[in-house]
Amino acid sequence: MKQAFGDYEPSEFRDGFSREPRRATLAGTFLLLVVSMITGCSSVPRAPDRADDRGAALARAAAQLIGTPYHFGSADAEGFDCSGLVVYVHQRMGLEVPRSANEQRRAAQPVPLDAVLPGDLVFFRTRFHIGSRIDHVGIYTGSGRFIHAPRSGGTVSYASLTEGYYRKHLVSAGRFWE
């Protein structure tokens, strides 16, 4: 014998809900899923384009040379001066750049200092020069750091753009990889 419970039969209350609210719950769940997917996708950072990858590859190539001795006038794996390091790393990526830091600055595509990306060159005036002669260059790696061949007796190393000596002498940035 069936017993009525209100206006519904007990079989309609298997898990405590009637069929109409179950459909509404299912539709609400689906809507929540769609909205989550749309908003989730909008917060995903943009994928770097191919050019950004090339700059990052330049920065990684420079990082592999950390500890290589400084040799004035050299641009090979035995040792580097600052502009020789830039030439060596760019040549490994199939890019030709001028030999001196000053020529590299003139030939590079200018990049605003607040928009530098890994692989960009950062240019410095470390000595007093009449005019705007650049005498030092490094390869930006991100997070306010760059790699360079600093001086005789030193090795290829990281330095900071955000504090100290190089921040005071930073003049401009440029790019060859785009």
Q: Within this chain, do residues 22 and 55 fall inside the same structural domain, yes or no?
A: no
Q: Which amino acid type is present at position 6?
A: G
- pLDDT exceeds 70 at position 84: yes
What pLDDT is recorded for position 27? 53
For 85, the domain range is: 50-175
What pLDDT is recorded for position 127? 83
| Torsion over CA: 62, 67, 68, 69 (sign) | positive
pLDDT digits (tens, 9 = 90+) for 19-39: 555 555 555 555 444 444 444
CATH label of the domain that carries residue 86: 3.90.1720.10
Residue 171: in which H helix or E strand, if any? strand 170-175
- pLDDT exceeds 90 at position 49: no
- The partner residues of 160 in beta bridges, in order of sequence, read 145
Q: Within this chain, do residues 153 and 66 fall inside the same structural domain, yes or no?
A: yes
Which residues are known catalytic residues?
Answer: 82, 136, 148
